[in-house]
Amino acid sequence: MLVRDAMSTVVLTIGPAHTLRQAAALMAARRVGAAVVWDPDAGGIGILTERDILISVGLGQDPDTERTHAHTTNDVVFATPAWTLEEAARAMAHGGFRHLVVLDRDEPAGIVSVRDIIRCWVPARRQVPA
């Protein structure tokens, strides 16, 4: 099974000047755990995850004044739609993260998460005879 079969094509894209509260509200409304941050000044595409917001709030930072650019990962590992789910899972395990931005022709085409991979693998594993 390939990343294209598992990825979410709902890509929330936000800017570097959004506050963490705005980002969290948008992520909650879309029911996603990560947002693509488009910041041409910082090299283009980054990712902000629910964990990034949680860490900031846990440190006592104000989500109404903290901007996404300060919490965005810019050194992103990208997947392609043609990767296998095993390749995506290996990249996630190696990097210690739960989301991969999927690029198709250098444009964000989706996001694949650990949860997406599990959803695909669990039904497939049930069909295997015991």
Reported as a single tens digit per residue, the pLDDT across 52-61 is 999 999 999 9
User: Domain boundaries in the chain?
Assistant: 3-126
Q: What confidence score (pLDDT) does residue 43 get? A: 74
Under CATH, to which class is 3-126 assigned? alpha beta
pLDDT tens readout for residues 23-67: 999 999 999 999 999 988 777 899 999 999 999 999 999 999 999
Cβ partners under 8 Å of residue 12, min gap 6: 26, 27, 30, 32, 34, 35, 36
pLDDT tens readout for residues 87-122: 999 999 999 999 999 999 988 999 999 999 999 888
The Cα–Cα gap between 93 and 58 comes to 24
Q: What confidence score (pLDDT) does residue 10 get? A: 82
Which secondary structure element, helix H or strand E, spans residue 46, and what is its range? strand 44-49
